[in-house]
Chain A
């Protein structure tokens, strides 16, 4: 059963799904795929152009060529929320089996947008354990690992605070890696048996731009040159800011100690 719907309504559904995908850190081809799939379910011919900073869609009713609509959505904030990508993926798959009305679809999308997230305490714990694991993996002792876990948790809470205050990603990374550097060297100077290198590397592991790198490669593979270049440049910038942060901290501590 195909539910009749205005072109504009269909495009709204497609646009919102695309927006959720893109702000959650999806690859470009997945966004375009999803938009086109949703439109084709409702019998609408559409063409979409997606970049990491915006979505352009124009749709055409197949049986009524005079009815055409274009929508543009600017994407300003991008986070990482892989759960949303999974949910939208199942949403668009399910849509092919059973079409929803406009209100139903919008309600579902809105509920995905406000979907569950791990509580701050659990994420903080996860950040701590991440730092702990990497400090030991990079040849630190158990004691190094525990200290790194504490630094990692501190850095993660700073990161979240700054994210809520809407401070730019690059500055966030700089401050966090700088703090990590200063704290590791400081602790290392207090207790001489510590392995400062593994503490430092372990504590900045949570800042690594894994998503930007992976998506950059995957976008390039699907021919989305524009966004692949943008993402690789983003990853390089993040790595540079982390490097500058650590470097500044090391220099400061070298002259201060």
Chain B
């Protein structure tokens, strides 16, 4: 619970730095908190960090696109702050730390994990955006008829 609160803060505050509409701040924060909750749940169930990141990215993009539809704002507004908690910052840091300490094997291992998490985030966004794009074009096509 404490972590979810922190994840909320961790999305709410970057959103202020990116200057988003005030009434959307809370939603961006909630989106980030939901992403972190999904991440934690999946990591407890499956034990795979990269899979958890992927699921979290899916949840975040779903919520962002969904809110963008409701509030009629660009989805980017929610995406960027709410991805903050699951960005692999800590493993990127350990990569650098291991390189500094001359532990190249560990550095390569953690580095690969960092790249894989980043890839998982990218793929999560990609899947969800494609689905929403498909729904949108379908809706427009139907309207046109």
Interface, chain A (partner B; CB < 8 A): 25-27, 30, 80-86, 89-90, 93, 117-118, 122-123, 126-127, 129-130, 132-134, 136-138, 156, 197, 200-201, 204-206, 208, 210-211, 213-215, 217-218, 221, 239, 243, 246-247, 250-251, 254
Q: Which of B24, B85, B92, B126 contacts A137 (CB 8 A)?
A: B85
Q: Are A82 and B76 in contact (CB under 8 A)?
A: yes
Distance in angstroms between the alpha carbons of A200 and B90 in the assembled complex? 9
Q: Are A247 and B74 in contact (CB under 8 A)?
A: no
Task: Given A201-B90, A213-B118, decide whether A206 and B77 contact each other with a Cβ distance below 8 A.
Answer: no
Main secondary structure of the interface of B (DSSP, over half): helix
Q: Are B10 and A217 in contact (CB under 8 A)?
A: no
A83 — which chain B residues lie within 8 A by C-beta? Answer: 19-21
Q: Which of A200, A205, A243, A250 contacts B84 (CB 8 A)?
A: A205
B81 — which chain A residues lie within 8 A by C-beta? Answer: 210
Q: Are A206 and B122 in contact (CB under 8 A)?
A: no
CB distance from B21 to the nearest CB of A (A): 5
Distance in angstroms between the alpha carbons of A88 and B118 in the assembled complex? 30
Distance in angstroms between the alpha carbons of A86 and B27 in the assembled complex? 15
Task: Given A30-B74, A210-B87, decide whether A221 and B10 contact each other with a Cβ distance below 8 A.
Answer: no
B99 — which chain A residues lie within 8 A by C-beta? Answer: 247
Q: Which of B2, B13, B19, B95 contacts A81 (CB 8 A)?
A: B19
Main secondary structure of the interface of A (DSSP, over half): helix
A239 — which chain B residues lie within 8 A by C-beta? Answer: 92
A25 — which chain B residues lie within 8 A by C-beta? Answer: 76
Q: Are A137 and B10 in contact (CB under 8 A)?
A: yes
Q: Are A85 and B74 in contact (CB under 8 A)?
A: yes
Q: Are A247 and B19 in contact (CB under 8 A)?
A: no
Task: Given A81-B18, A82-B19, A246-B96, decide whether A208 and B89 contact each other with a Cβ distance below 8 A.
Answer: yes
Q: Are A213 and B93 in contact (CB under 8 A)?
A: no
A122 — which chain B residues lie within 8 A by C-beta? Answer: 16
Report the count of interface residues on B (CB-CB < 8 A): 46
Q: Which of B77, B89, B92 contacts A86 (CB 8 A)?
A: B77
Determine the residue in chain A with the shortest Cβ distance to B82.
A210
Known: A81-B18, A197-B97, A206-B14. 7 other contacts (CB 8 A): A82-B20, A83-B21, A117-B19, A126-B16, A204-B89, A210-B14, A210-B83
Across the A-B interface, give the 6 residue pairs with the lowest CB-CB distance, nearest first.
Answer: A126-B16, A133-B9, A126-B13, A130-B13, A133-B10, A82-B20
A132 — which chain B residues lie within 8 A by C-beta? Answer: 9
Q: Are B87 and A208 in contact (CB under 8 A)?
A: yes
Determine the residue in chain A with the shortest Cβ distance to B71.
A86
27 CB < 8 A contacts A-B: A26-B76, A30-B74, A80-B18, A80-B80, A82-B15, A82-B18, A83-B19, A83-B20, A117-B19, A118-B19, A126-B17, A129-B13, A130-B13, A133-B9, A133-B10, A134-B89, A136-B2, A138-B89, A200-B93, A201-B89, A205-B10, A210-B84, A213-B121, A214-B83, A214-B125, A221-B129, A247-B100
Distance in angstroms between the alpha carbons of A221 and B21 in the assembled complex? 26
Determine the residue in chain A with the shortest Cβ distance to B91.
A201
Distance in angstroms between the alpha carbons of A208 and B90 in the assembled complex? 12
Distance in angstroms between the alpha carbons of A27 and B133 in the assembled complex? 15
A127 — which chain B residues lie within 8 A by C-beta? Answer: 13, 17
CB distance from B85 to the nearest CB of A (A): 7
